[in-house]
């Protein structure tokens, strides 16, 4: 048969026939330079600590962080984003903007080591630093005080910029956070420090392993009052992203990624800045667990997962596989 419905037979399959043809005609490509590696650095430890719920991921010392950062950069990873675990926590997250806070010290280390070769990012939130585990300051009734929290975010942004961050990532989902941070950075003489805004961050069950890694599980309640409801329309996520762009965000982010590819696509279509998507800890851990049990082909599944995020429209992907993927891609 030479025709199907008036079209030449096999016209769709011709470019699928061999690996070389598939590579040549691929329309979605994962490039190491578009990957960002999330990294955890913990104060007061003398050796890296494995995270049981995230096989292959550790809480770093400052020294092991430097080594892992060099490895990532040499593999071609485009950026690194730091999350800090302080030795002491309090109600206002004092270590988050202290000059000798763990992230500030780690940023100084990496700025000296790889600062000219990669993009240094710092997560900007309070949950890792507060003794209650919420993303902001609390009122007497236990609610997060949006406006008081913005003042803390502004101070953290300046501290991170001063320590060497090229980009800060406000992840607390406070209203007006990008505007407050942009004003603080500009006012402190850091107009060139960029903002990667966690614009559409959902109250997801897939953050569990991250909370082990960052030691930031809420001590009471949850974060549903300020993170987005998973059952809300995509329109709300788009609105959040557009508001962040209007307030000065240089990049907007969707988190999680895999369960929210529809959001990634809609945000990509709506904004004129790069779109990032965070391949979160739960997505990482469930794939690793399935692979460890022999249920899936690990390498193929990783490549498929990240490619699907890119195909949905993400320009940048934050993933714990960044170094491994970049190394593999450079061999191809």
pLDDT digits (tens, 9 = 90+) for 134-169: 888 999 888 889 999 999 999 999 999 999 999 999
- Is 324 among the domain residues? yes
What's 297's domain CATH number? Answer: 3.20.20.70
What's the confidence (pLDDT) of residue 5?
A: 59
Domain total for the chain?
Answer: 1
- Is 66 among the domain residues? yes
Q: Which residues does the annotation mark as catalytic?
A: 201, 255
Task: Give me the helices (H) in 83-139, please.
Answer: 102-114
Residue for token digits 């101070």? 155
- Is 13 among the domain residues? no
- Is 6 among the domain residues? no
Q: What angle do CA 160, 102, 277 make, to 5 degrees?
A: 60
- Is 17 among the domain residues? no
CA dihedral sign, ordered 319, 322, 325, 329? positive
- Is 122 among the domain residues? yes
What's the confidence (pLDDT) of residue 301?
A: 97
- Is 270 among the domain residues? yes
- Is 326 among the domain residues? yes
Residue 226 tokens, joined = 């300020």
What's the confidence (pLDDT) of residue 218?
A: 81
- What SS3 state is found at 41? strand
pLDDT by 10-residue block (mean), the chain, 332 residues: 56 79 83 96 96 96 98 97 95 94 98 95 93 88 91 97 97 94 98 96 91 82 82 94 97 97 98 96 97 97 97 97 93 64
What's the confidence (pLDDT) of residue 142?
A: 87
What's the confidence (pLDDT) of residue 133?
A: 83
What's the confidence (pLDDT) of residue 9?
A: 55
What's the confidence (pLDDT) of residue 1?
A: 45
> 42 - beta bridge partners?
85
What's the confidence (pLDDT) of residue 56?
A: 96
Residue-number span of the structural domain to which 214 is assigned: 28-331
Q: What is the DSSP letter of 16?
A: G
pLDDT above 70 covers what percent of the chain? 96
What's the confidence (pLDDT) of residue 10?
A: 56
What's the confidence (pLDDT) of residue 332?
A: 59
């Amino acid at each position: 048969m030479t025709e199907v419905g008036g079209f030449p037979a096999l016209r769709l399959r011709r470019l699928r026939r061999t690996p070389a043809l598939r590579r040549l005609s691929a329309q979605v490509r994962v490039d190491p330079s578009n990957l960002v590696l999330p990294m955890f650095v913990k104060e007061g430890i003398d050796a890296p600590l494995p995270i049981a719920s995230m096989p292959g991921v550790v809480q770093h010392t400052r020294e092991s962080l430097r080594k892992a950062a060099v490895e990532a950069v040499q593999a071609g990873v485009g950026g690194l984003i730091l999350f800090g675990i302080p030795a002491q926590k309090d109600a206002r997250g004092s270590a988050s903007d202290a000059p000798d806070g763990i992230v500030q010290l780690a940023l100084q280390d990496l700025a000296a080591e790889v600062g000219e070769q990669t993009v240094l990012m710092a997560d900007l939130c309070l949950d890792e630093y507060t003794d209650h585990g919420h993303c902001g300051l609390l009122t007497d009734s236990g609610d997060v005080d949006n406006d008081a929290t913005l003042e803390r975010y502004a101070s953290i942004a300046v501290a991170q910029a001063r320590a060497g961050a090229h980009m800060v990532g406000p992840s607390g989902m406070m209203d007006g956070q990008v505007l407050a941070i942009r004003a603080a950075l500009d006012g402190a003489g850091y107009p060139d420090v960029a903002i990667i805004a966690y614009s559409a961050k959902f109250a997801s069950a897939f953050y569990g392993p991250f909370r082990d890694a960052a030691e930031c599980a809420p001590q009471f309640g949850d974060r549903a009052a300020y993170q987005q409801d998973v059952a809300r329309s995509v329109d709300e996520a788009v609105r959040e992203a557009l508001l962040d762009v209007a307030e000065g965000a240089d990049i907007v982010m969707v988190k999680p990624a895999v369960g929210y590819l529809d959001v990634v696509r809609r945000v990509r279509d709506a904004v004129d800045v790069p779109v990032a998507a965070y391949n979160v800890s739960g997505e990482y851990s469930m794939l690793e667990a399935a692979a460890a049990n022999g249920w899936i082909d690990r390498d193929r599944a990783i490549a498929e997962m990240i490619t699907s995020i890119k195909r949905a429209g993400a320009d940048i992907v934050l993933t714990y596989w960044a170094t491994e993927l970049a190394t593999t891609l450079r061999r191809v």
